[in-house]
Structure 1
């Protein structure tokens, strides 16, 4: 083996190790597990602090700066508590459900685009998979009360099943509303070809993503080379239908149009927020664990490490709910002046770190704004009855969400938003890179 080949091999191995190290850092530290867990604890502190202030109380105060470390202290305290299991309960199943709930909740927050257009986990159709994970989290709650064999746990489980199943439908409909909007404006291959023809590029094999990246680079640095030599030998290939159900594409669409979808679908945003509060069992939807009626509901026989995991899972679910609403309807990490966020050209020039920091800032601002709304609602309202909650979901939330989708489709058909322009289409196409 020659020296050159050996050096090339060592450099390749070093590059592979560095890439693996970067991915592990993303998954475990930022914006992965440690960051999300810390954000969940800060979110709980924010919720408790605002809730206390709205009730003219102090809230967490002594542990850390203004009590910011109180959720962490509570978590550590629960880990040190004795783990008591009721007589006749299914011990193995009760041990498995909090682990499953925490794992599912931690997986869900990995899909949130914290500082760029896509999360750590991102693939075509990931929005549908997220709805599935939310349903599985509900299943762990129902099973926990059932395995506890407590009369209070069984009543809480029944209530949880009725409430959470009733709100699965409006949750899915409202979460998919942005996808319906994007589907109407997704640039098809024919539309992109027409736009590029208008730009003087005659397109008669690369993939569409590769083609658009090449177009962005060559049209910027060598337009003549692009027009006369590269463009004629390329061939356009279509997008996948699942791309409209991808969180990254929905956030990119809002950045391109410079309009958060809450302005287009306010009813769906409200429906999503209410459904998420019901999924999180926040007041006025805390019926499955009503302390004045059934002690703690499905959590009655949960203690020690199990309760710590459930509390942590609940905090992660709260961050997921607020982050999902901020992403789908408020643009996620993109600010009001964004177009497509960090472009391939910016990545090549090394200008992306500042954009990522700004994106993280915008995401956190929007997330805590949604958290404030959730806290305000749980402070203002009192607990509903289970029949009122289920009736509200089936009679009001679902019809209103469907009506909102119908109005959006009519507005899109009439092009009331004015988004069917050549520049918008090409920017939407470029955002798919």
Structure 2
């Protein structure tokens, strides 16, 4: 059955249009709340949000939906996505909700749902909720309508949790850290946690106004962070996105470090400490071939999945890995969290740097990435990847890159775009291959 509302990471869209209206949010609350009314206890949902202006509207609408079917609501305000997942499990709630569109501009918003175990919902749960969105949901009797309560110490609970993942024998005294919170959900908790661990913290992206989340700042725009690191002569820069579930780092020289290098550093350190499970790590098809080759030199394996942190997590759970993530900076450390957590990942990176005694530029440059080129081809309809002419060009490209590179071609899950990515030892060959495929797709479309 095709999905109508849910994408790879909950429901997302432009605010006040389509599925991202107050009316739809209330329906989501009713449908999801009714789905998780299991057992005879008082049922509870934890709702968090990032700093988007539309968060007020969607929070109130979701609250109305959940209480109308008899579920109590616990509101935690602006909090990172991983904090909502952690609090859902910690508070023995029946489910959790994060109102966020992650790294998207402020005009977008989204609804992410978590089960009582703190993990994102299964396909089966999402499909059941989708079906209920277009049906009449039974409402609670007047005396069984849910109550709502806002808790004030949620930030402290998450800060304590995040700090507990940092090794007890280490401190950050003497380390100057620039943290960029993207004017998003972690604007209070991330600087506070780093300061409590002893760091000299320089903050940017910590003045949200409802409209400036991810606006030329944060993990998708690390230029501001790089400039600040150089300006204040910091030891490292940490960039989070709007809901703080992804991490990008800048070393002391102002160079950007992506998720592949960060995973290599964490996995390598954990392997040396005997902590790494599964004999490697899990990443997506977009991770650089250089990462795979680097891991192989250490006797470690790279397992690849489709793009999306949910697929990474599924493979980790299925095959027993405890480190996984995406090149974009979603890093999942299942010893600590049930989803990507930018702050927790940053603390593991800082621990590696602290233990090594070396600067970030050395610790976080584990391999030379192969030249990688990604281009998008927009199309108006049809299935251009099924055309014989396109298949012929792709087959020729794969043969040309065999042994010296890699090709990934996939349709976008959110827009009518074909993404064509190639990487290889020879950048000229990579560019030629991508251009030939893009041209074939355009003609077929």
TM-score of the alignment, normalized to the shorter chain, above 0.5: no
Relative CO higher for 1 or 2, CA cutoff 8 Å, sep ≥ 6? 1
After TM superposition, the score normalised by the length of structure 2 is: 0.24
The structure with more helix, counted as a fraction of residues:
1
The structure with more strand, counted as a fraction of residues:
2
Larger radius of gyration: 1
After TM superposition, the score normalised by the length of structure 1 is: 0.25
